[in-house]
Amino acid sequence: MTSKQSVTLWHNPRCSKSRGALELLRERGVEPTIVDYQKNPPTVAEIEHALKLLGRAPRDLMRKGEAVYAELGLDDPSLTHQQLIEAMAEHPILIERPVAFANGKAAIGRPPEDVLAIL
């Protein structure tokens, strides 16, 4: 594998899993494009695209332990996928991290080694 491979990482530098995934990529000669998704939140369209690549539902990408999840009542089963995606776009702390993108695929780095599957 060469470092020319295009990898993007939705990253939170304060998260040990996110730092671990970044380290694993760098150990393999991959320098990803790092997106600090809390400072530069993904758009609704970018979150929809990520979910499509992941093959997951919106709640699968959400950090349910975050206070804002409870505050916004996001466990309400009547909420639509669109409402959940909009909540993530508005409150990026809700997005599980890290998320790596490469080769038309995506992976949530929990555990961090999971990001290597898409290389």
Q: Which amino acid is at 13?
A: P
Rounded distance between C-alpha atoms, residue 107 and residue 102, angstroms: 9
What ranges in 14-115 are assigned the alpha helix state H? 16-27, 44-54, 67-71, 81-90
Catalytic residue among 2, 8, 11, 15: 15
- Note if 15 is an active site residue: yes
Residues involved in catalysis: 15
